[in-house]
Amino acid sequence: MLNSVLDPLIQKGRRKKLVEELAASKIFGSRVLRAIGAVPRHLFIEKGMEEFAYKNIPIEIAGKQTISQPSTVAMETELLNVKSGEKILEIGTGCGYQTAILFYMGAIVYSIERQKELYMQAQKNLLKIDYTKPILFWGDGFKGLPQFAPFDGIIVTCGAPEIPNDLLLQLKVGGKIVIPVGDKEQEMLLITRKSKSEFEKQSFGAASFVPMLHGVR
């Protein structure tokens, strides 16, 4: 449990109100809501922006990126249906907030970030809350982490122009990938690997994410 300096009462109250708002939508399960209520989002954003941490809005972070709005984080997490002990690959660590949500839910988390500034900041953010077990990498998310495959689930937190085949092949049979796909307009997809060569695709509506880019910087 965090001390009152890092997680003051006012932020706990704001976080509780956010969870109540998300719960009212009746979209998210109790495990996802519990994680949103436990992980201190205000410790993952820039100083001076803490008062906005528990509003259901995206917030700009370093590297001209954003931390997704809480309902989007909750939606992707809900679709992935994370179970304790599962090995999950995250594409786009960002500030580390989604990483922390997955870890809180019991996942073994591997996460890739292409921007070195964000990769380093995410490590610092996770250390603030004593989350030392997520394994972070600076690298190209399109390539995934084949050396650690197969994964039970893959979550992509940026908009891919197409579905990366390398990521599909890193799923175990029965595994799932949650990924927003599209250029200007994106569609949230849930893809399940049914066999070595068969994949089932489901759509969950429109999405809006920063673009997924090749390479590192």
> Among this protein's residues, is 208 annotated catalytic?
no
**Residues recorded for the chain:** 217
The C-alpha atoms of residue 136 and residue 158 are separated, in whole angstroms, by 17
Q: Contact at 8 Å (CB) between 197 and 168?
A: no
Q: For residue 10, which amino acid is it?
A: I
Closest CA to 103 of 137, 79, 126, 128: 126
The C-alpha atoms of residue 110 and residue 170 are separated, in whole angstroms, by 13
Which residue reads 């436990």 in tokens? 38
Q: Specify the 3-state DSSP secondary structure of 184.
A: coil
Q: In angstroms, how far is CA 64 from the centroid of its own chain?
A: 17
The C-alpha atoms of residue 67 and residue 95 are separated, in whole angstroms, by 7
Catalytic residue among 4, 25, 30, 68: 68
- For the annotated catalytic residues, the residue numbers are 68
